[in-house]
Amino acid sequence: MVRNIVKQNRLFKNIDDESLERMIVCSRAGLKKYKRGDAIFFQEEEARKLFVLLKGRVAIIKHLISGRKNILYEVEEGQVFGEHYFFGENQIYKYGAQAVTDIEIMEIPWEFFYCFCNEACDHHRQLVQNMLEILSMKEWLTIKKLNIVSSSSLKERISTWLMDEADERNIVALRMNREELADYLGVARPSLSRALMKMQDEGMIKVDKDKIHILNREKIENFCN
């Protein structure tokens, strides 16, 4: 099961099974489990590893001077995190990572990406190319987040987030609880709850336990950046 999840990861795209097995051994990658609420790494900690999430969910968190925290995004099963410092000299985490659920991860030392060994060097080029694609995708996630938090009102933030997350049926699956969503949007939880209820009263949305139904897409789009 673990190998199947790893194989499906973007980091190992176009790398055959035999090469993948060899690279995992060569890199000295290890498996580790964390409980819900545990920190995988802390903000300002030296970046030494790349992480592949095999099971569960992880929140990438920015701690503010005020003491509040801001969830930048959540990592889903099978995704990579901790990759932002693949290039550059300042390899210090500017954010932290925390387990949202009980998780299992694969930890890969950064040295493997820089030191081409005889066993896996034919595939390092592909690995680096895959890493660049992942970095590009994460850059897009950052742009989306900036677009949300730059909104001048909470209703605009919620509307922009809804349009980003809605599927073809105009439904937004709630993968975060209310507190996590408030942290992601950079607001207090009571303020978020009031804003959602007001938008529901105005006929814009319908809020269920695990999803939000968009009832008036045009009206919501008018509040988007």
**Domain at 150-221, CATH class:** mainly alpha
Q: What pTM did the predictor assign?
A: 0.64
Residue 53: exposure state from Cβ atoms within 10 A (0-12, 13-18, ≥19): buried
Superfamily of domain 2-148: Jelly Rolls (2.60.120.10)
- Cβ–Cβ < 8 Å for 112, 26: yes
- Cβ–Cβ < 8 Å for 140, 208: no
Identify the segments of the chain with pLDDT beneath 70. Answer: 1-8, 84-90, 114-122, 124, 225
Q: Residue 130: name the closest of 57, 52, 73 by CA.
A: 52
User: CB neighbours (10 Å) of residue 155?
Assistant: 17
CA pair distance 42, 39, nearest whole angstrom: 7
- Cβ–Cβ < 8 Å for 102, 56: yes
Q: Domain map of the chain by residue range? A: 2-148, 150-221
| Per-residue pLDDT tens over the stretch 146-182 | 777 777 789 999 999 999 889 989 999 998 888 889 9
Could you tell me which residues are beta bridge partners of residue 81? 51
Q: What is the pLDDT of residue 111?
A: 75
Q: What is the pLDDT of residue 193?
A: 94
Q: What is the pLDDT of residue 120?
A: 47
CA pair distance 75, 97, nearest whole angstrom: 9
Could you give the residue ranges of the DSSP H alpha helices within the chain?
Answer: 2-7, 17-27, 111-114, 121-149, 154-165, 178-185, 189-201, 217-221
